[in-house]
Structure 1
């Protein structure tokens, strides 16, 4: 073999997914046991639950944030913009951080940053500091999301495990509005919700530290630090990765925009009572979580490409019904069905990514698309709030329709699957 060919092979080996955790010579006598792997699955699922607890709360708390700080919708929307900055920062630094401290180290670092954000929020600081805390929760969540997905995708039958991982996220989004709305509607201490999330965050740090203790804060692959730049460059120059980024950006934007502004829409436009319609957010997220579990096998059996288009058609119909039927009970039903059919998009998209992107780019592509795609959870809710502050919350509906159409366009542009696994 020529020296050039050997160099190429060596570079490919260096780029291969570090989440497979190639052991160091000292660890070769201690291969991971089934119990250790189960522990890692549990802890990464818990990080997903924490992400759900984070993302679904702010939409329920908006009607209470405004009078507490005496601010309008435009000012409230800045929390989403700051959150976007945190996600964006993580999307470009994730590969470098992971190359230095490994999967477990990056997960723990993310959990610590996220928990620090909650520590800033829980005492109801001045609004600029309260908003700034969302940078830390966004960045911390982004690091964890990227690494959790990168780890889960290495397990056998990843479409099932990804469905479970993101269904657990859905469970967090169901629990979050119930807890936040109950606290905010029955007590003047709505900000104590973040005391709860801070305590859960401490559990998250502890659980991750225990389950990823073997080789903690060490690179997963020897020489990963040296190849981080080339891996990031290869990821950023992949047309397929950018198409998937567009799909994830719009999808996550639609998901969090719907859940985040749903309560405010029902209060301002449908004239519902905040303490009651706040629970309808849980109906949306319940459908969302259930869809990720119930549709995982159906989607895989009948083909991911085909079924996402079917789900999009149903989701668009539900969104139009929600818009055009001025009845809160009917809105609760349609938004639940909407959540059910858009729920599988994220895990399905990640699974498809592993089939159309070369294996040596999996870790970079998964981390980058998970982080940058999730930035839509901040960018589009901010845009919606900014427009709503001028034109009213009614703009939620045409924005949602536009996002769903945009998702369909990006999904159509994704190349057909050819396995690289």
Structure 2
């Protein structure tokens, strides 16, 4: 029963990744078909991200009231309907309207499933979960490309992805009872583990009514903000840096950036096995140090081939950080507030993804894209400092018990 539900959660994360990379892959064709301007894609992206941030912030209340299974079912139904809306959309206005439920659904699914896995499953499942997101994000453009290369259009690509989402909706509908059964079966085990491992004492949990008042939460949010700032900045501006500063061709630069994403995906798969031997905290610290080394390599005035090495090292370094930080949430701050804090973390993460890369783009447009490695280095350093300060605070709480 537990294994069946875990497979469903993995499938849900593949479906979560599928739409994330569709817009960028399809926009060159969508733009001409709809007669839209180039920057319209950015507005659509911001609309989707805005919905994701809002639903992440309110996910804690929704999950407590309706449960993870029901919220996931409704959220995937919303994303499936939104993608179908993209297929039928006659104008950009309808794309904007459909982008709202697409973002709202994605945020609730992300926060809900991350919290559910953090509480009910071991750390290696969290790493593999986000590895499966990478599988979905990789398959999305591949599926879209197949339709755009043939006689069909981007609309057919959205229709197929929507169909995959609706198939998952049917599976979720028939497996809703499993969610509560698994939670009840594991409840006693989770309570015992929480008593031994919680960074927040039971007394403190009872006293604190607002999760943001718990010591260390803001430091955790800062870590998520700068992590996603690094991840998104590498993806958005990496090619521009390689072309304009290192003098590589656009095709070569794109290939090197793809190896960065491959480093994250493969790294998360490997991390799943390493979690059997090392703690989340150790993996987070190690990943941040590795990413820092990669950023330093990119920052130094070295030959171009070292940029490839730097991209891959940063990718491998980032691989364990996000899933391990998510899995640590109940341990750091207690099970009582984990759903709400998880929602806050996802909201801040999406905020970093949405606003930090454009900020760098704005600065670079008034200076040079050569600031890319320096910004990357600063983001990684701040993330490491926030994380280490949080570890120090949690260690003091444990000693004070």
Q: TM-score, normalised by structure 2?
A: 0.77
CA distance in 2 between counterparts of 1:265 and 1:132 reads 34
Partner of 2:394 in structure 1? 416
Whether 1:235 aligns to 2:211 is: yes
Tell whether the 8 Å contact from 2:125 to 2:272 is kept in structure 1 after alignment.
no
Partner of 1:114 in structure 2? 79
**Cα distance, 1:138–1:333 mapped onto 2, change above 3 Å:** farther
**Cα distance, 1:383–1:208 mapped onto 2, change above 3 Å:** farther
Give 1:369 shift. Answer: 1.9
Partner of 2:8 in structure 1? 43
Partner of 2:229 in structure 1? 253
Tell whether the 8 Å contact from 1:52 to 1:171 is kept in structure 2 after alignment.
yes
Structure 1, residues 75-125: CA drift from partner, whole Å, max 9, x if none? Answer: 543233223311221123212222332211100111122223322323565
Partner of 2:66 in structure 1? 101
Determine which of 264, 272, 291 is the counterpart of 2:249. 272
Determine which of 262, 268, 272 is the counterpart of 1:286. 262
Partner of 2:381 in structure 1? 405
**Cα distance, 1:67–1:391 mapped onto 2, change above 3 Å:** farther
Comparing 194-203 with 49-58, greater Cα deviation is found at: 49-58
CA distance in 2 between counterparts of 1:67 and 1:390 reads 29
Whether 1:310 aligns to 2:276 is: no
CA distance in 1 between counterparts of 2:306 and 2:142 reads 20
Give 1:126 shift. Answer: 3.3
CA distance in 1 between counterparts of 2:146 and 2:93 reads 25
Alignment of 1:19-418 (within 5 A): 35=1, 37-61=2-26, 69=35, 71-72=37-38, 75-123=40-88, 125-156=90-121, 158-180=122-144, 189-190=153-154, 192-213=156-177, 233-263=209-239, 270=247, 272-273=249-250, 278=254, 280-298=256-274, 301-322=277-298, 327=304, 331-387=307-363, 396-414=372-390, 415-416=393-394
Q: TM-score, normalised by structure 1?
A: 0.74
For this pair of structures, how many residues does the alignment match?
Answer: 369
Tell whether the 8 Å contact from 1:249 to 1:376 is kept in structure 2 after alignment.
yes
Comparing 378-387 with 197-206, greater Cα deviation is found at: 378-387
Structure 1, residues 358-407: CA drift from partner, whole Å, max 9, x if none? Answer: 23222322233234433433233443455556556555444433322221
Higher helix share: 2
Tell whether the 8 Å contact from 2:147 to 2:157 is kept in structure 1 after alignment.
yes
Give 1:338 shift. Answer: 2.0
Structure 1, residues 152-209: CA drift from partner, whole Å, max 9, x if none? Answer: 12335x2111112112112223333444456557778345442332122112212222
